[in-house]
Copies of this chain bind each other. A is one copy, B any other.
Amino acid sequence: MAMKIIPNVIVGRLPVYLRALRHMQAQGQQTTSSQELGDLVGVSAAQIRKDLSQFGEFGKQGAGYNIAFLTGKLREILKVDRVWDVAVVGMGDMGHAIARYQGFANRGFRVAMVFDNNPALIGQKVGEFVIRDTQKMVDTIREAGIKVAMLTVPASAAQEVANQLIEAGVKAILNYAPISLSVPQGVMLQYIDPSTGLQRMTYYLE
């Protein structure tokens, strides 16, 4: 399978479908339709069917989708039917929040180690984690074989830390720093960018 720097639009929608399916399942629902799922995520029913058909036959004409089955399939496709260890770099407010975040459970991820470069923080505990020294980060991450990292350092340090993560073998970076980063071919980058999320809504405001 060809690796891409930024996932294509269809792959990018699957996690959103998965989140909506989890929501329906949590409310005790067992089946859904492309129409209902589409309404929930703001995509047309035809687009849902087209997207899912790229990966197989997951529903029955007229009977819709079994939520547990479709959830299982999407988790397989997205490779979150396993648990990925994640390194978090930057133990400011945002890093603390992530280290204690309860939202990763059953979604394919667990924070495995956290780093900072501040001597006053190194060795301190955040939740269950002892903050490690970024100076040893490249070796530590490489030895642990960690491929996924979250970057919560200040904007001014983000590119340098990203370069180190890539040197350590990290292939997927979720960037919280408010700055665009450059990564080489074969490394994936996604942004957590509240401004973008807000701008998607102001368009519709009076």
B198 touches A174 (CB 8 A): yes
Of the candidates B41, B147, B202, the one whose C-beta lies within 8 Å of that of A6 is: B41
A188-205, CB < 8 A from B: 188, 190-205
- Residues in B whose Cβ lies below 8 Å from that of A41: 6
- Residues in B whose Cβ lies below 8 Å from that of A98: 194
A78-114, CB < 8 A from B: 78-80, 84, 86, 92-94, 96-98, 100-104, 107-109
B108 touches A42 (CB 8 A): no
Of the candidates B103, B104, B191, B201, the one whose C-beta lies within 8 Å of that of A148 is: B201
A197 touches B201 (CB 8 A): no
**Whole-angstrom distance between the Cβ of A75 and the nearest chain B Cβ:** 9
Question: Other than the known A78-B199, A150-B194, what 4 A-B pairs have Cβ atoms closer than 8 Å?
Answer: A84-B205, A92-B97, A94-B94, A103-B177
